[in-house]
Amino acid sequence: MAQMFLRDLAQKRGLAIGTAVSADALRGDAQYRTILAREFNMLTCENAMKFGPLHPACGQFAFDDADAIVAFARENGMAVRGHTLVWHRMLPDWFAKGGFTYDDGIDLMRGHIHTVVSRYRGQVCAWDVVNEAFEDDGGWRGTPFLRMFGPDYLTTAFHWAHEADPDVKLFYNDYSADHVNRKSDAIYAMVRMLLDQGVPIHGVGLQMHLCVWDDLHPASVAANIKRFNDLGLDVQITEMDVRMKEPFSESDLLRQARIYREIMEVCLRAERCSAFVVWGLTDRYSWIPDVFEGEGAALLFDADGQPKQAYEALKEALWRERT
């Protein structure tokens, strides 16, 4: 029997399976391109579509990296998630510290969203319109957008994205909101309010950045997904990785595999969990060691591009979890 790769198994389940992609790695690493095209049918620009990289100076856009990633996706039959239009990080100083009036700020935000969403219309299937607007305790994060525009910034951002591309699916995306907890409760209340106001929002992204030492409660993740599905919203796992501490042990790798499998099973059993995206292709390119010293090995392929137990566990879940 021909070997089945992740994307073949996922395709049979109608599931998009993706990874975050670095433009530099895509250009410079042939093995990276080979694994990416072989295993995934979706990708997210890890950084290339963020405000700062795309719009480094007022009115000046830099699309080369994002265009290269989108072209690779098109050439390899892959869907693209757009990440992200409104986020407090990787904001260029000209915007974050521009001291604009409300009206000028609104014009700049509308211009950014319209320019970016229009450019990738028909090439991006879903946008993380707003990313990480809440604190872990469920309160509003004090972002430049909240300061400039008040809480309505979410509503206007979704409307502008919809104006620019009425067909693209619009998501709210966040981390540490995977289980039913204070943060996901706040997100649930917010998306309910947006829906009641007729705001064009179509889904919620659960980033799923986990650690092997976490207490995972799959039933709580399933209940969280269900309550968003019950609102008529899609849910996508948007940035999964499962980090461990050095020295990485065999038991860590096995626990990691079990965590990946449990979340995949929750996704496959959900009414609408349409995508499962990991945040990086191989451990060599993971963001984690740069941020969490002495931690890493969070992805499906090791630093040499070899599949780990977690990769096999996902294939097994996709193969076994028949509806």
Applying CB under 6 A, the residues found at the interface with ligand G3I are 46-47, 50, 89-90, 131, 175, 207, 239, 287
Query: Which one of the listed residues 39, 46, 239, 265 is annotated catalytic?
Result: 239
Shortest reach from residue 105's CB to ligand G3I, in Å: 22
Residue 150: exposed, middle, or buried by beta-carbon count in 10 A (0-12, 13-18, 19+)? exposed
* Residue 176 exposure: Cα atoms within 13 Å on the Cβ side: 10
Q: Look at residue 251 and give its three-state secondary structure.
A: helix
SS (H, E, C) 12-47: HCCCEEEEEECHHHHHHCHHHHHHHHHHCCEEEECC
Query: Which one of the listed residues 132, 250, 316, 321 is annotated catalytic?
Result: 132
Q: How far is CA 33 from the centre of its chain?
A: 20
Shortest reach from residue 50's CB to ligand G3I, in Å: 6
Smaller CB distance to ligand G3I: residue 58 or 291?
291
Of the candidates 271, 270, 288, the one whose C-alpha atom is nearest the C-alpha of residue 279 is 288
Shortest reach from residue 279's CB to ligand G3I, in Å: 6
Of the candidates 281, 290, 180, 182, the one whose C-alpha atom is nearest the C-alpha of residue 240 is 281
- Specify whether the backbone of 286 is left (phi greater than 0), alpha (psi in -120 to 50) or beta: beta
Shortest reach from residue 65's CB to ligand G3I, in Å: 10
| Residue 242, number of CB atoms within 10 A of its CB | 27
Cis peptide before 151 (omega within 30 of 0): no
- Please give the C-alpha separations between residue 48 and each of 44, 84, 284, in angstroms, as whole numbers: 9, 9, 19
Smaller CB distance to ligand G3I: residue 244 or 268?
244
Smaller CB distance to ligand G3I: residue 178 or 265?
178
239 is catalytic: yes
Shortest reach from residue 74's CB to ligand G3I, in Å: 22
Shortest reach from residue 145's CB to ligand G3I, in Å: 15
Is the Cβ–Cβ distance between 236 and 292 less than 8 Å? no
Is the Cβ–Cβ distance between 121 and 165 less than 8 Å? yes
CA distance 43 to 23: 12
CA distance 85 to 53: 12
- Name the residue whose CB lies closest to ligand G3I: 287
262 is catalytic: no
Shortest reach from residue 203's CB to ligand G3I, in Å: 16
CA distance 313 to 320: 10
Smaller CB distance to ligand G3I: residue 239 or 265?
239
Smaller CB distance to ligand G3I: residue 212 or 298?
298
Smaller CB distance to ligand G3I: residue 187 or 318?
187
Smaller CB distance to ligand G3I: residue 5 or 173?
173
Active site residues: 132, 239
